[in-house]
Structure 1
């Protein structure tokens, strides 16, 4: 399960609307507690794809490391990633799956139809490696994580 506050949920969806008709992307910082990823912050990242930013995204490795360091300074880990699908469903694509490598992380996708965020879904990347990884539908709960969970 993925838990995040209304503020984080809205921030991801707004980011998708602002970058439309291109895909937005970002990193989810928080903590994992058992089978729950509790998100404390959504950090915007630049989409470095210049060839097809309308249907692909890429976060530069240097930016990802910077976000990871900033999170660790706050006692947080990368627990997921988010991006938008302009004028497409909030469902992972073959490319999304092929480029997903952070096992145990949540991958959140928001469908942005004609500039408006509609559906937001989450998928958990499971498995022990590239050979057996899989995306599982993940419940997304818009609710602050309890202090005990963090």
Structure 2
């Protein structure tokens, strides 16, 4: 697993988005660059949660938003490194649903929100056994 080095402004965007959508789950993408050991997250971008029905326990990304994200990465010489989302009143660990929809390359940042406040941020990536393994995050505030 790689180590994530998250720009403080990108982290703030993710955490503020998680708090603003509480008690529903938020979702967004993050971009940056990577080398053999580290992913450098430089930008986080909010995406609407397109889940029909109860958004307190699920998020969904409209395929058009995903295509826009891929296009943005190409046009701006950056890499789409992953997806962030929140877990309102739950720990920052992947759910069974998160595992079902995960893609091998991406990092998945999960922000636990308790009482409307971001309390824990963790990141996960699928390992070779298609299970989640936690990634180390540098310079993390919450």
TM-score normalised to structure 1 length: 0.87
Partners of 2:74 and 2:130 lie apart in 1 by 26
Contact 2:51 2:59 in 1 (8 A): yes
**Corresponding residue of 1:117:** 118
Partners of 1:142 and 1:66 lie apart in 2 by 29
Q: Any unmatched runs of 5+ in structure 2?
A: none
Query: Cα deviation per residue 1:77-136 (whole Å; 9 max; x = unaligned)?
Result: 1111100000111111111111112x1321000001010110000112233xxxx31211
Partners of 1:142 and 1:26 lie apart in 2 by 20
> SS of the residue aligned with 1:55?
coil
Question: Deviation of residue 13 (structure 1)?
Answer: 0.5
Partners of 1:124 and 1:141 lie apart in 2 by 16
Partners of 2:132 and 2:33 lie apart in 1 by 20
Partners of 2:29 and 2:139 lie apart in 1 by 17
**Corresponding residue of 1:146:** none
Aligned residue-pair number = 138
Contact 2:7 2:40 in 1 (8 A): no
Question: Deviation of residue 35 (structure 1)?
Answer: 2.9
TM-score normalised to structure 2 length: 0.92
Q: Any unmatched runs of 5+ in structure 1?
A: 144-150
> Runs of 4+ in structure 1 displaced over 3 angstroms?
none
RMSD between aligned residues: 1.2
Is residue 137 of structure 2 the alignment partner of residue 140 of structure 1? yes
> SS of the residue aligned with 1:53?
coil
